[in-house]
Amino acid sequence: MARLMVSISGVRGIIGEGLSPEVALHFAQAFGTYCNGGPVVVARDSRTSGEMIQHAVVSGLMATGNPVIELGICPTPTTQMATEKLQAAGGIMITASHNPVMWNGLKLLAPDGLFLDSEQSKQVVQLYQDRAFALKTWDDLGLVKTYDRAVQDHLDTVLHLPFIHTEQIRARRFKVVADCINGAGAVIIPKLLKELGCDIVVLNGTPDGRFPRTPEPLPENLGEVCKAVHQYGADLGVVVDPDSDRLALVSEKGIPLGEEYTLALAVDFVLQHRRGPVVVNVSTSQVIDDIARRYDCRVERTRVGEINVAKLMREIGAVVGGEGNGGVILPDVHLGRDAIVGITLILQKMAQTSKSLHQLFSELPQYKIVKTKIELPTGIDTAAVVESIRQKYQNENLDMTDGVKILRPHAWVQVRASNTEPILRVMAEAPTEQEAHALAQELKQATARIVSNPST
């Protein structure tokens, strides 16, 4: 894997190997130039390298004359909201999201708090590569101030949503185990749960960036929280990634529900209160389609990537949306994936139905997703391989939004090229793991035949 990735989603790299203060400095100067010297919000997750990178970023922005508004440690969704609220020209979130602790990176935000789209990102990357920085003289440098209400603003917005009844949630006195992985979530999630009257057990609640496990909230990484839910007899467990845009849930039985079901439960709750279109990415579970059908609502699908989902949601006035990796987007709060929103919606749903999380989960259609990848020989044209797959399956029901997705009754399989590695990602979903696995294998084998014999 590349040690430094400069792409349309910003920059991400391993500290000491690809990502250095120099890279962060130059990227901040490129972004400051792109923002025309306007104010820029800067925040970070809790990684041990965060403060070092922040100094470089702030230094770069000051050099290009941008006033800097520092938020300190806070989640990505909090930073997105603050960028919009404070009417900044942009925002920089210092995080490598779910990547392990040796990584860090910069996520770049537009004035509306959405991530830069591919066109906007290209402009920043061009300025970075050309070193075309609008550096200012001594009397025109940017000044730094801090804004310490971003977390409270975020909480206030979520707790005042029209369909959230905090009294109803408080009355239930839910027992919740919250695993913040010593990430940015630690500065907001315990506060949120306290406001909601929960009896809380916090695991890894010190935002010092010392992640005690692999930070991606996949079921196989959640052993500690599952055990704690059992031990404390909790109603549920909530787990976030280091920048708290993704949320995974653990039922009262100590079983991880899988991130797809975070979004499913949230969509089910919102559509109960408000009918309208739903937007998810093309790799998100079909359980969303089943749920939307119950409420007679339509589902639109986009390419993978939060910005793609957020932009289509705005365009068509979606009432809820997100990505299957535990990323719930509620436009009333902000057009970005938000674990704080996710937790609040789930607790409200539990409070008003008087059902346990496991019961609510069991009432939804059940699917299993299998993910695998195909390593390709170097130099191979991934687009041509994808096109050959399309031709092979052209008589089937296809969705070409991102790679090739083959739709079958109650199942689908998708093959798409990775943006960062010479691999194809294969994802399959079916009612059982066995069927999903068989589908993924079928596509893997078909692809292997195409790669080894391109003329057929």
* Residues in touch with Mg ion (CB under 5 A): 97, 241, 243, 245
Minimal distance, residue 241 CB to Mg ion, in Å:
4
Q: How far is the CB of 323 from Mg ion (least distance, A)?
A: 10
Residue 162 Cβ vs Mg ion, minimum distance, rounded to whole Å: 27
Find the shortest distance in angstroms from Cβ 99 to Mg ion: 9
Q: What share of the chain is helix, strand, coil (3-state, %, to 5)?
A: 40, 25, 35
Q: Which CB sits closer to Mg ion, 243 or 323?
A: 243
Residue pair 331/67 in contact (Cβ under 8 Å)? The answer is: no
Q: Which residue, chain included where needed, has tokens 């346990």?
A: 356
Q: From the candidates 9, 97, 285, 388, which is the catalytic residue?
A: 97
* 170 vs 213, beta carbon nearer Mg ion: 213
Looking at the Cβ atoms of 77 and 256, the one nearer to Mg ion is 77
Q: Which is nearer to Mg ion, 222 or 450 (CB)?
A: 222
Could you give the CA distance from residue 291 to residue 236 in angstroms, rounded to a whole number?
22
CB of 107 to Mg ion, least distance (A): 9
Query: Can you tell me the distance from the alpha carbon of 111 to that of 26, in angstroms, rounded to the nearest whole number?
Result: 21
Instruction: Identify which of 144, 128, 120, 176 has the alpha carbon closest to the alpha carbon of residue 40.
Output: 144
Structure-block tokens of residue 197: 């009257």
The CA distance from 382 to 379, in Å, is 9
| Residue closer to Mg ion (CB basis): 84 or 245 | 245
Q: Which is nearer to Mg ion, 245 or 402 (CB)?
A: 245
Contact 356, 253 (CB under 8 A): no
Q: Are 425 and 371 in contact (CB under 8 A)?
A: yes
Instruction: Name the strand (E) or helix (H) holding 203.
Output: strand 199-203
Please identify the residue of the shown chain whose CB is closest to the bound Mg ion: 97
Q: Least separation, in Å, of the C-beta of 104 and Mg ion?
A: 13
404 and 415 in contact (C-beta within 8 Å)?
yes
- Alpha-carbon span 283 to 416, nearest angstrom: 10
Q: Could you confirm whether 244 is annotated as catalytic? A: no
Sign (positive or negative) of CA dihedral 93, 264, 233, 341: positive
Tell me the Ramachandran region of residue 209: left when phi exceeds 0, alpha when psi lies from -120 to 50, beta otherwise. left
CA 269 to chain centre: 20
Distance CA 329, CA 364 (A): 20
Chain position carrying tokens 């845009």: 245
Which residues are designated catalytic? 97
